[in-house]
């Protein structure tokens, strides 16, 4: 058996840092879109996808 663990320590630390941010974003998104309609949700989603694609294209 190897002395290496299943997860690297830097990966676990990154998880511990980013998990609260992810959960806070999910909660904020749930509360923010609770009263909105499907058209707004679709536009925001497509805008995020467009910006991610544009960033990947330019990078």
Residue-wise pLDDT tens for the chain (59 aa)? Answer: 455 677 788 899 999 999 999 999 999 988 887 877 888 889 989 999 999 999 999 98
For residue 46, is it within any domain?
A: yes
For residue 2, is it within any domain?
A: no
In angstroms, how far is CA 9 from the centroid of its own chain?
A: 21
For residue 36, is it within any domain?
A: yes
For residue 43, is it within any domain?
A: yes
Distance CA 58, CA 56 (A): 6
| pLDDT score at 2 | 52
Residue 14: its H or E element: helix 9-32
The residues, ordered by sequence, that sit 6+ positions from 14 with a Cβ below 8 Å of its Cβ are none
| pLDDT score at 1 | 45
| pLDDT score at 17 | 95
* Structural domain containing residue 34: 9-58
- Count of domains forming the chain: 1
């Amino acid at each position: 058996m190897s002395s290496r663990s299943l997860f690297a320590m830097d990966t676990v630390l990154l998880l511990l840092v980013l998990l609260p941010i992810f959960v806070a974003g999910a909660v904020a998104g749930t509360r923010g879109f609770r009263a909105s309609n499907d058209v707004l949700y679709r536009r925001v989603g497509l805008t995020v996808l467009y910006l991610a694609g544009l960033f990947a294209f330019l990078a």
